[in-house]
Chain A
Amino acid sequence: QQPVQSPQAVILREGEDAVINCSSSKALYSVHWYRQKHGEAPVFLMILLKGGEQKGHDKISASFNEKKQQSSLYLTASQLSYSGTYFCGTEIGGGSNYKLTFGKGTLLTVNP
């Protein structure tokens, strides 16, 4: 079952912040975040494992609340280069489960 991402789309001005959420109805082992620019392939951003960890990459960070089966991606002081569609991918169970289930994506547009 696909995780649910919200919002579906968000428009920002350069320098503003945004939060993208990803939630699942199933117990998660890990959450993966990817970004896809228009006409290109998705690119990996980060992985969060169960344990409630947070990670950061430049001004993009994420958290994972395994009790709520939710992850949030935080984009701080957005730049034009942050524009694109963000996908979360969820892993259920771990162990011999080798696949991810991706959400439908969140379209982020950063304007000057």
Chain B
Amino acid sequence: DAGITQSPRHKVTETGTPVTLRCHQTENHRYMYWYRQDPGHGLRLIHYSYGVKDTDKGEVSDGYSVSRSKTEDFLLTLESATSSQTSVYFCAISRSGPGTQYFGPGTRLLVL
């Protein structure tokens, strides 16, 4: 299995608070992705990175920001959490974009 972890695995927070999710990899893969998964919507891309400090928006990026200061870490920040951001968040890594993607275990986020 690809070495990819996500933290925290579960989080409950209140509307209006900032939240940061972390994705950490030990595979030295160049590409990293953040998706959210909601019933009836499948996997939707939030942001992705194609190198250190190189990031771009996905299809549902409003209300989210990302940072990648080193190869192994990709952070997703919800600037001011809303109930509509309650979801399961998956991080994925890929050696070549958008080749075979290896997904992390996911983070369940509940915004009250």
Contacts and interface: CB of A to CB of B under 8 A. Distances in A.
Contact of B90 (A41, A97, A105): A41
8 pairs of A and B residues whose beta carbons are closest in the complex = A98-B97, A41-B103, A104-B42, A102-B43, A100-B98, A105-B42, A44-B100, A98-B50
Given A41-B104, A42-B103, A98 B48 contact: yes
Contacts of A97: 97-98
Given A32-B100, A98-B98, A102-B42, 20 more contacts: A2-B42, A32-B98, A32-B101, A34-B101, A41-B105, A42-B101, A44-B100, A91-B98, A98-B31, A98-B48, A99-B45, A99-B98, A100-B101, A101-B59, A102-B35, A102-B44, A102-B45, A103-B42, A104-B42, A105-B42
Contacts of A101: 45, 59
A100 B90 CA distance: 14
A64 interface: no
25 contacts: A2-B42, A32-B100, A34-B101, A42-B90, A44-B101, A47-B99, A47-B100, A87-B43, A89-B98, A89-B101, A97-B98, A98-B31, A98-B50, A98-B97, A98-B98, A99-B48, A99-B58, A99-B98, A100-B98, A100-B101, A101-B45, A102-B35, A102-B42, A102-B44, A105-B42
A68 to B, nearest CB: 21
A19 interface: no
Interface residues of B, number: 25
A108 to B, nearest CB: 14
Interface of B: 31, 33, 35, 40-45, 48, 50, 56, 58-59, 90, 97-106
Nearest to B98: A100
Nearest to B97: A98
